[in-house]
Structures are given as structure tokens and as C-alpha cells.
């Protein structure tokens, strides 16, 4: 994949390839008329990098590559990315998955963050960085893979039903409180 990205960047005269803070790769300096050709050559689904939607899901190495990992953050991150990436929502929406309590994927400053623990997943919601940073709050703890997928789906559905256009999840919690989100899991 890295070879393909390098070849495509060279072919279309890109100025740089950049790793973003969200661990995405950006090919910088392409001509607008070449964008479709680039995606075609990369043989990837188009990434959703802007707009009111779920951005690519960030994940740390977890149990796959990190000796401190308690849960499979990479596997969970890829499953979430496959299910939610580019899904349109009322506001910008970021998710990240960390394999242990050190939270290297910055799960505490994402709309939905997962943190791996020995007993299962801790799920925190309502975090974000930016001009008005907000630390997420714990929604639930000790969930297995299936349970956390269900909890994420219920949280997103509640968010869709109750958020104003452009309102991030943390602001919905500021307005309504955390309890309705906890109740929505039942």
C-alpha cells in the first residue's frame, strides 16, 4: 500500500505526503481534475476528511503490536471504520480506540473513545479538541466487543435524534446531560 501511495503521488506530481494528527495520510498538492484518477489508482474507497460525518477512526497498536495492550484496538478500530466512516451525522464526529488506559489514541478527546481494559472496553463520549476543547465522560465500562458495538450504535442513534445541525456530541451532553445517553443504552 505504501508503494502504491508513493507511485500515485509521483504520477500525479504531488508536493508532499503527510501523516495527519489523526494518523491519516494526505497526498498534498494534487490538481483538482486528477482527484478521481488518484482514487481510482489507489483502489480505495474515498475517504471522508471534511464535512458533517464520521471521520476515519484512529486506533493504536493495541494487543497486535504493543506489550501494554489489553484489547485489540486495531481490530476494533478497523471494524468501526468499516461500519461508520463517512456516515453523515448532525456534526463532525471522531472516534478513536486505545488498547489500554494510557489512551495513546487520545480517546478522551474524541466524540466516542474506547479504552481497552483487562475486563473489556471502557466507552467515553463527548470529547473533542479545537477552540473549545472538552474531555470526554465515561458512558459505560466492561463491555465485550459485541456489547460495545451495540452501545456505539445506540449512542449514535440518540445523537442523530437529538442534536441540532452542526452540534457536536459534547455540546449535546452540555445541553441535555449524560443521563439520556446512559438511558438510551438500556
Measured from the CB atom, the residue of 62 and 170 that comes closer to ligand SF4 is 62
Measured from the CB atom, the residue of 22 and 185 that comes closer to ligand SF4 is 22
Minimum CB distance to ligand SF4, residue 80 (Å): 15
Indicate which single residue of 42, 48, 53, 68 sits in contact with ligand SF4 (rule: CB under 6 A).
Answer: 68
Minimum CB distance to ligand SF4, residue 78 (Å): 15
As a whole number of Å, the CA-based R_g of the chain is 17
Measured from the CB atom, the residue of 62 and 91 that comes closer to ligand SF4 is 62
Among residues 27, 104, 98, 112, which one has the least CA distance to residue 63?
98
Minimum CB distance to ligand SF4, residue 96 (Å): 10
From residue 98 to residue 137, what is the string marking binding to ligand SF4 with x (rule CB under 6 A)?
Answer: xxx-xxx---------------------------------
Minimum CB distance to ligand SF4, residue 62 (Å): 5
Give, as one character, the DSSP assignment of residue 165: T
Indicate which single residue of 23, 39, 42, 61 sits in contact with ligand SF4 (rule: CB under 6 A).
Answer: 61
Q: Which residues contact 48 (CB under 8 A, 6 or more apart)?
A: 54, 55, 56, 85, 86
Q: Are 179 and 186 in contact (CB under 8 A)?
A: no
Q: How far is CA 151 from CA 48, 49, 104, 115, in A?
A: 23, 25, 22, 14
DSSP conformation letters of 61-129 = -HHHH-TT-SS-HHHHHHHHHHHHTT-B-SS-B-EEEESSTT-TT-GGGSSEEEEEETTEEEEEES-B-
Measured from the CB atom, the residue of 67 and 179 that comes closer to ligand SF4 is 67
SS3 state of residue 43: coil
Measured from the CB atom, the residue of 104 and 156 that comes closer to ligand SF4 is 104
User: Which residue(s) pair with 59 in the sheet?
Assistant: 97
By CB under 6 A, the count of residues binding ligand SF4 is 13
Binding site for ligand SF4 (CB under 6 A): 60-62, 66, 68-69, 73, 98-100, 102-104
Amino acid at each position: 500500500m505504501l508503494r502504491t501511495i508513493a507511485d500515485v503521488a509521483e504520477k500525479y506530481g504531488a508536493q508532499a505526503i503527510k501523516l495527519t494528527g489523526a494518523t491519516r495520510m494526505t497526498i498534498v498538492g494534487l490538481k483538482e481534475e486528477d482527484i478521481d484518477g488518484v482514487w481510482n489508482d489507489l483502489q480505495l474507497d474515498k475517504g471522508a476528511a471534511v464535512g458533517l460525518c464520521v471521520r476515519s477512526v484512529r486506533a493504536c497498536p493495541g494487543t497486535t503490536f504493543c506489550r501494554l495492550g489489553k484489547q485489540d484496538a486495531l481490530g476494533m478500530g478497523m471494524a468501526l471504520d468499516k461500519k461508520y466512516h463517512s456516515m453523515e451525522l448532525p456534526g463532525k464526529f471522531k472516534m478513536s480506540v486505545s488498547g489500554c488506559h494510557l489512551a495513546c489514541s487520545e480517546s478522551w478527546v474524541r466524540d466516542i473513545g474506547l479504552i481497552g481494559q483487562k475486563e473489556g472496553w471502557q466507552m467515553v463520549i463527548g470529547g473533542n479538541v479545537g477552540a473549545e476543547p472538552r474531555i470526554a465522560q465515561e458512558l459505560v465500562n466492561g463491555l465485550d466487543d459485541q456489547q460495545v458495538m451495540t452501545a456505539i450504535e445506540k449512542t449514535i442513534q440518540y445523537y442523530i435524534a437529538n442534536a441540532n445541525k452542526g452540534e457536536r456530541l459534547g455540546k449535546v451532553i452540555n445541553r441535555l446531560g449524560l443521563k439520556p445517553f446512559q438511558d438510551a443504552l438500556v
